[in-house]
Amino acid sequence: MKSSRLLFILPPFLFATILLAANMNSTENPSDDPTSNTHPTESDENFDKMMAVLTHQRCINCHPSDNIPKQGEDSHPHYFGMARGAGNMGFEAINCNACHQSENNDYSGVPGAPEWSLAPESMKWEGLSRTEIAESMLDRARNGGRSPHEVLERLTEHALVLWAWAPGIGASGKPREAPPVPVDEYIEAVKAWFEAGAIIPAE
Amino acid sequence: MKIAFTINGQAQSVDIADGNTPLLWVVRDILHLKGTKYGCGKAACGACTLHVDGEAIRSCSYAVKFAAGKDVTTIEGLGTRENPHPVQQAWMEYVVPQCGYCQPGFIMATAALLEKNPNPTDEDIDNNIVNVCRCATYVRMRKAIHRAAELKQSTSPTTNQ
């Protein structure tokens, strides 16, 4: 008697359980729901690595939102009242190259790299979220008219960007902090992120 | 390594083991031009300011190898006792220096500014002349900079360079 009752109860219960499990499965798998982004994809991991570098002070210090270059690990305003000035290079008689040359200077602790200057005003990244920085970076109106390929080249090949991993010593003689991702890993991640379509994840 | 450049209008060549040696050290210790001063050694105070191809640079933070083939001017080459540069003339008129140590840097920075901006406003002066003077001669310097601009505009450039 009991077993015959179970025969009536179990099938609907099992069906409901299977439906529920299937439904849960579909929401957990981002590939089944393109709008879902609850779990990181490989592209997201590459994005994370890239942004860990681009939001580091070695990059952000020269992408100010207030036209004042920043310095140091604490990103304090550049000493001596330095500001963007004309051409992103400071003022007429005291421009970036009054102190910064194309190489680090270990005698004075002044950093240097080719094309040392502030990023253009359209590339203000300071204070932006990771996604806002990525959007800015891919927007031709703000990125200097660069195609995605040109942005990729800039991010992975330009000496001023790669300087971040060889930032020299500071005025106190201590080495400056490099970004948290090794340079090879960063380059690989940036290339992979662009190859995967440069998808900016939701945050 | 041998590094050749022009300094105060004269061709010069130095033989130096480390091309990264600051230009300041070469100017003072090898070429014995002592007018350019060592202040902080960190490109912060401006006492070591001189001109490379007409641009004011902090010579304590400028590797001598970068001077190769360029035209260097120090305070000794700016003017003469008989024919001072307008900035030097204005400095004398306003008796700007107190201890005087930082003044060559200020004079070189001002001379570079007037080449780019012949009539600087107070704001231009604040933005461009960021050297440090421990005697706080800034008030007299500001007056002297405006006076130098007047003098420079009233004299032929050929008589002062």
How confident is the model over B79-116, as pLDDT tens digits?
Answer: 999 999 999 999 999 999 999 999 999 999 999 999 99
Give dist(CA B46, CA B27) in Å, integer: 15
Give dist(CA A101, CA B23) in Å, integer: 13
State ipTM: 0.93
Q: Would an 8 Å CB–CB cutoff place B19 in contact with chain A? A: no
DSSP annotation of B64: G
DSSP annotation of B62: S
pLDDT of residue B130: 97
Of A118, A164, A107, A61, nearest to B58 (Cα)? Answer: A107
Q: Would an 8 Å CB–CB cutoff place B44 in contact with chain A? A: yes
Q: How far is B47 from chain A (nearest CA, A)?
A: 13
Give dist(CA A177, CA A174) in Å, integer: 9
Residues sharing a CB contact under 8 Å with residue B94, sequence separation 6 or more, in sequence order = B140, B141, B143, B144, B147
Mean pLDDT of A165-189: 97
Single residue among B77, B95, B112 that ends a domain in this structure: B77
pLDDT of residue A43: 81
Indicate which CATH number applies to the domain containing B31: 3.10.20.30
Which residue of A92, A94, A101 is in closest CB contact with B63?
A101
What's the pTM value of the predicted model, to 2 decimals?
A: 0.85
Tell me, yes or no, whether B124 and B58 share the same domain.
no
Map out the domains of chain A as residue ranges. 1-39, 40-195
Of B73, B137, B159, B83, nearest to B111 (Cα)? Answer: B73
Amino acid at B76: E
- The boundaries of the domain holding residue B23 are 2-77
Tell me, yes or no, whether B36 and B57 share the same domain.
yes
Cβ contact A98–B44 (<8 Å): no
Is the per-residue pLDDT at A16 higher than 70? no
Using the structure block, give the residue that is written with the tokens 């083939």.
Answer: B69
Indicate which CATH number applies to the domain containing B94: 1.10.150.120
How confident is the model over B24-72, as pLDDT tens digits?
Answer: 999 999 999 999 999 999 999 999 999 999 999 999 999 999 999 999 9
Single residue among B77, B103, B134 that ends a domain in this structure: B77
Cβ contact B61–A106 (<8 Å): no
Decide the pairing of beta strands B71-73 and B2-7: parallel
Q: What is the full DSSP assignment across A16-82?
A: HHHHHHHHHHHHH-TTT-TT--SS--HHHHHHHHHHHHHTSHHHHTTS-SSS--EETTTTEEPGGG-
Tell me, yes or no, whether B9 and B62 share the same domain.
yes
Residues of A contacting chain B (CB within 8 angstroms): 79-83, 85, 91-95, 97-99, 101-103, 105-110, 171
Cβ contact B116–A99 (<8 Å): no
Q: pLDDT tier at A113 (50, 70, 90 boundaries)?
A: very high
